[in-house]
Structure 1
Amino acid sequence: MLKSFNKTLLGAALIGASLAPHAFAETTLNALFMAQAAYSEADARAMTDAFAKANPDIKVNLEFVPYEGLHDKTVLAQGSGGGYDVVLFDVIWPAEYATNKVLVDVSSRVTDEMKKGVLPGAWTTVQYDGKYYGMPWILDTKYLFYNKEILEKAGIKVPPKTWDELTEQAKTIKDKGLLATPIAWSWSQAEAAICDYTTLVSAYGGDFLKDGKPAFQTGGGLDALKYMVSSYSSGLTNPNSKEFLEEDVRKVFENGDAAFALNWTYMYNMANNPEDSKVAGKVGVVPAPGIAGKSEASAVNGSMGLGITSASQHPDEAWKYITFMTSQATQNAYAKLSLPIWASSYEDPAVTKGQEELISAAKIGLAAMYPRPTTPKYQELSTALQQAIQESLLGQSSPEDALKSAADNSGL
């Protein structure tokens, strides 16, 4: 009955809102999030509950989908003329979303205080062509995680600083019979593989594009894929890596079946949780390695932002929600699975306590973040590269031929 009353007299209710502002939710927002990595679903729900308590006149409906469905769900909802007010988006999508008017330009809403307080690298997540299309929310890169106990048993004193050292240490672990396949990667034919590939491209000093045209088929781009194929064919890499996503890597590492794993920030505290992990207390983390003579460390920009869709009927309320979710107070309170975007948070003991090793790695990794290519045709390029990686790992094509074919099929 009340529902029917609300529907029928919505106009009257809004006029009377000042008299009874908290009688019922005046505005309902629909928000789309990711059901894996970074902030957990429970974290996102708890943050949203806190927002609802502070803003009882705004109700937020949350929907969670796997990362692999996030882009298409956003675009399809847009095409249907409805759907979401707030969406989580990857650093690789602002060019496409801006060009196709999926997200609204929020440059006028971003304050000087925000610009000064947020780490400079985080802003690249939401910018395209000099404009802001949201607020950075997840500041992330991939790190090299290692099992301290296994390295100790193998007589390895310090974790690898270069990718060649990683290979050598993995071989030592394998030769001593400690693990048959010491390394785990997320090389499924998905964006996850592109993130690992980008990390290696950054180490080798490669370029994805030059003057808007593919350049990954030579130089560092080719060296990166050759390294992946070598690690896979040598038997040092878990053969199931070609089907793994990040969550698979986490589970293998937490089970004690990997000495080394490349993964996002969130794995650190999850793998150190004794309730779920067999390796709690044995988890080491360092920046992803570099290449002797070329780089000290390597890193991919895996950050994500929250934006307002152009279909939203409630942009002001949507922005209010976004600024709450990305605020320093909220981020500091949930800093165990995703590190804050705010520079001064890294000096806050509430954020750093218990994860000093991760913070130390983050200071190097976040500064070294390498971008995946900025192009409205990113989806086509990524799909072509994913196929090239798979074909190379399976021995169906040489890295040279696979990347040449990817360049031809990239749409650029």
Structure 2
Amino acid sequence: MNIKNIMTGAAIGVLAASGAAHADVTLNALFMAQAAYSEDDIRNMTAEFEAANPGIKVNAELVPYEALHDKIVLSQSANGYDVVLYDVIWPAEFAQYQLLEDVTSRIDDKTRSGILDGAWTTVEYDGALYGMPWIADTKFLFYNKDMLKAAGFDNPPATWEELRAQAAAIKEKGIVDYPLVWSWSQSEAAICDYTTILSGMGGEFLDADGKPAFNTGGGLKALEYMVGTLDDGLTNPNSREYLEEDVRRVFSSGQAAFALNWGYMYNLANDPAESQVAGKVGIAPAPGTDGVSKASAVNGSMGLGIPTKSGHKEEAWKYIQFLTSQNVQDKFAKLSLPVWEASYSNPDVIKGQEPFVEAAKTSLAVMAPRPTMASYQEASSVLQEALQNAMLGSVKPADALNDAAETISDMQ
């Protein structure tokens, strides 16, 4: 063999070895480290995906919800992620700045019809789909059965006024110092609680012309209700600093009779390893208002999408399809209920969490949206500050909301 052939053969060998070395694809995926699926759930799902797809590895990064939005936005300049978890409030912004792939053509009719209608609003904007629904969730009312019984109540409250009355009775009897606990820190968590109450009191964020309307009607009543429970000593004052995990901790330690939180809390609060009140925890749809609503709920759903700068879009879509498949969702349904309609008649999903599933049937059907606007993050920050100022007593609820409405109008 002459030197030319030797060199050619060596070059081919190097190229072949190089190709083999780079055959595996590594996906970078961004998730949330609170509520819904646990970190163990996500890592176990991912391990099953990798076992079924030996050519694909996944680096799963979990961050607090409060960091999720900015991580997604900032990563676009560095090709950071191939799959991202995002909130229902962000598609308008992400679509405007082309941060997520339009996957409308990838989703077949069978998938469209099999998933709950309301879940599609999580990933849809202006007629296009920017991912797959993954978490269908809202806030529920959790209650301590023993505390209600000790106060003489057989059933949880059906209206917001009943909640206030039951809390007052529980406090008066000395059963617990602060019957109510909420996630009212100056964050999106407070907006979700406010939206829940606003929806049940007949309020709206925006009017028919897209202008702020939360400073009137049910929106004003909702904030007055929140402030009133603080003034009456019914709400734990630390709620103004709490996020959802703080709420779970306080309720699970027996320091509250009622809590508003996402669905994931039901099984954790009834787990002896996680809770001092396991077996005593009930769940119901958030209350309604006489003559206005039977229940209240906020759309807290989340979807999985592919950043436009991902270099592995086919593999990313395969991973998303796996995570959002009915089989996987049914298997991991203890902290987050599936988005598939058929799952709600699956005995394996329902068993052991019948009250959770029953409450979800009502709540998921009445979820109220937060405003769909590209400047949502900025508008939310303004409203968060207004809520906080009112709850701290530095400004009256009406004045706080009027100022916020004026500022948000100027943004539009």
Give TM-score, length-normalised by structure 1: 0.95
How far 1:14 moved relative to its partner?
8.2
Instruction: Find the counterpart in structure 2 of residue 359 from structure 1.
Output: 357
Instruction: Find the counterpart in structure 2 of residue 311 from structure 1.
Output: 309
Q: Distance in 2 between matches of 1:130 and 1:69?
A: 28
Instruction: Report if the CA contact (8 A) 1:25-1:56 is conserved.
Output: no
**Secondary structure of the residue that 1:285 maps to in structure 2?**
strand
1:170-209: CA deviation from partner (whole Å, max 9, x where unpaired): 0000000101110000000000000000001100111111
Q: Distance in 1 between matches of 2:361 and 2:226?
A: 26
Instruction: Find the counterpart in structure 2 of residue 383 from structure 1.
Output: 381
**Which shows bigger deviation, 25-34 or 257-266?**
25-34
**Secondary structure of the residue that 1:63 maps to in structure 2?**
strand
> What is the 5 A alignment of 1:190-201?
190-201=187-198
Question: Number of matched residues?
Answer: 398
Instruction: Find the counterpart in structure 2 of residue 36 from structure 1.
Output: 34
Q: Distance in 2 between matches of 1:48 and 1:65?
A: 17
Instruction: Find the counterpart in structure 1 of residue 280 from structure 2.
Output: 282
Q: Extract unaligned runs of 5+ from structure 1.
A: 1-7, 17-22
Instruction: Find the counterpart in structure 2 of residue 68 from structure 1.
Output: 66
Closer, same or farther: CA 65–390 of 1 in aligned 2, 3 Å: same
1:230-277: CA deviation from partner (whole Å, max 9, x where unpaired): 111110000100000000000001000010000001000000001121
**Secondary structure of the residue that 1:391 maps to in structure 2?**
helix
1:246 corresponds to which letter in structure 2? E
Q: Extract unaligned runs of 5+ from structure 2.
A: 1-11
1:39 corresponds to which letter in structure 2? Y
Q: Distance in 2 between matches of 1:225 and 1:130?
A: 33
**Secondary structure of the residue that 1:298 maps to in structure 2?**
coil
Q: Distance in 2 between matches of 1:230 and 1:162?
A: 16
Closer, same or farther: CA 180–11 of 1 in aligned 2, 3 Å: farther
Closer, same or farther: CA 25–15 of 1 in aligned 2, 3 Å: closer
Instruction: Find the counterpart in structure 1 of residue 51 from structure 2.
Output: 53
Instruction: Report if the CA contact (8 A) 1:24-1:57 is conserved.
Output: no
**1:204 pairs with 2:201:** yes
**1:238 pairs with 2:236:** yes
Q: Distance in 1 between matches of 2:310 and 2:13?
A: 22
**1:151 pairs with 2:148:** yes
**Secondary structure of the residue that 2:102 maps to in structure 1?**
coil
**1:160 pairs with 2:157:** yes
**Secondary structure of the residue that 2:286 maps to in structure 1?**
strand
Answer with 1 or 2: which has the greater Rg: 2
1:215 corresponds to which letter in structure 2? A
Q: Distance in 1 between matches of 2:179 and 2:88?
A: 31
1:314-340: CA deviation from partner (whole Å, max 9, x where unpaired): 111100000000000000000000000
How far 1:407 moved relative to its partner?
1.3
Q: CA RMSD in A?
A: 1.5
> What is the 5 A alignment of 1:71-150?
71-78=69-76, 80-150=77-147
Instruction: Find the counterpart in structure 2 of residue 4 from structure 1.
Output: none
Structure 2 counterpart of 1:249, from 231, 247, 250: 247
Q: Distance in 2 between matches of 1:241 and 1:191?
A: 14
Q: Distance in 2 between matches of 1:291 and 1:14?
A: 66
**Secondary structure of the residue that 1:403 maps to in structure 2?**
helix
**Secondary structure of the residue that 1:367 maps to in structure 2?**
coil
Instruction: Find the counterpart in structure 1 of residue 325 from structure 2.
Output: 327
How far 1:13 moved relative to its partner?
5.8
Give TM-score, length-normalised by structure 2: 0.95
